[in-house]
Amino acid sequence: MLHLRLLGGPLIIVLLTLNSLFEEPAELPQTGPKDANLASFDKLMTTFVHKNDLPGAALAVAKDGRVVYSRGFGFADREKKEPVRPNSLFRIASISKPITAAAILQLVERKKLKLDDKVFEVLELVEPNGAKFDGRWKKVTILQLLQHTGGWNRDRKGAFDPMFYSPEIVKELKVRTPADAHAIIRFMLRLPLDFDPGTEYHYSNFGYCLLGRVVEKVSGQSYEDYVQKHVLAPLGIENMRLGHTLLRGRAEGEVKYYVPERDRPLAIMGTDVGKPVPEPYGAWNLEAMDSHGGWIASAADLVRFASAFDHPKKCKILNEKSIEIMFARPEGEPGKNKSGNPSGPYYACGWEVHPFQDGTRNTWHGGSLPGSSTLLVRRADGLTWAVLFNSRNMPGKVEPADAIDPLLHDAADAVKKWPK
């Protein structure tokens, strides 16, 4: 009998495993209106989400400023079997930067600010006590912050991204956990810059953290209130808001975020400080990342925002001059390649830009956080799309938004007839 039990257990496991291989996969939930002419997007999304075992995704596409496709795929909440819907809200991570850039350029238009203003003066920052101060801080301009040329390089050896450095900042400044944006700025004032402002390009979340404080200082409103009232509301966008770190702060209609079970760093906030938690829910402070990575949005609202710049004369939030500045090549070395010639793709003000010889350009921005992978694309032919995932983990080291990018271009090119 003992011998039979030992054989029986493994045999059952093998049969179940083999059986599962031959089972038809459960049908992937799909929500939102279908259009046979846009079936290439449906095929891509269902195949991509299922093949890569992703929990869920949303895709919206606009043509010539009008949303023509908005659908959800897979699960917003796997445990509760809640499907992603077209209006589901996702953490958009760094796609927050184009939103902040629009707010800054609008304030420049309204003569509340100048692009060559020094952020040290605008924010009335104070040299730190007990630490050697790098005087180059006083040279950093608003434009340099927009273009990631302010002086910080998180990728150099021994460097770090202060937006994810809360435990060290809390310990150094002796402040309450988690470190908020103001504590992060105080901490960074104690450190030297990595290069002379305006001479190099290095992507900087911290630079956009400063820009959020600039919006608050010159507008007299909270960053979120200003953006919602003056950038989003004129475009008919009502549901975008800043997200919250902890699961109990999950907004109505917001998806859940998924990471591998092994990814359980120590919490820096909430009731489990110092204990292992799921990485998206307490291991870093989303509230402090507001102006560089804190927004939650639907895919459809993101394409409404991005499409607003397609026809500069008709744009409701920025004038033609501001839109041209937003996409313009940085002056000097940051706008050149290693050969000293104008670079192909470059980073402008809140947007990656790929210029073409005919004077047109594709512009885009991606976003990535544990549990989130996002992409917003504006194509030169009048197409705009946003694709949002509630996980950034898939086979291999590539993230979903990066992997699907060329495939979305193929799916768009396969459309023979667009809705009128």
Q: Which residue ranges form the domains of the chain, and what is each CATH number?
A: 30-413 (3.40.710.10)
For 36-60, what is each residue's pLDDT tens digit? 999 999 999 999 999 999 999 999 9
For residue 372, give both structure tokens. 């989130």
CB distance 291 to 275 below 8 Å: no
CB distance 264 to 276 below 8 Å: yes
Q: What is the C-alpha separation between 269 and 284, in angstroms, rounded?
A: 8
Set 94, 96, 298, 343: catalytic member:
94
Q: Sign of the C-alpha dihedral, residues 28, 31, 36, 38?
A: negative
Helices (H), 94-219: 96-109, 119-122, 142-146, 166-173, 181-188, 205-219
More confident residue, 16 or 202: 202
Residue 57's nearest CA partner among 47, 67, 21 is: 47
Query: Residues 261-279: what's their mean pLDDT?
Result: 96
Is 204 noted as a catalytic residue in this protein? no
pLDDT at residue number 6: 29
What 8-state DSSP symbol labels residue 204? -
Residue 213 has pLDDT above 80, yes or no: yes
Q: Sign of the C-alpha dihedral, residues 161, 166, 172, 173?
A: positive
What pTM value is reported for the model?
0.93
CB under 8 Å to 36, separation ≥6 — which residues? none
Q: What is the C-alpha separation between 289 and 209, in angstroms, rounded?
A: 7
Model confidence at 24, pLDDT cuts 50, 70, 90, reads: very low
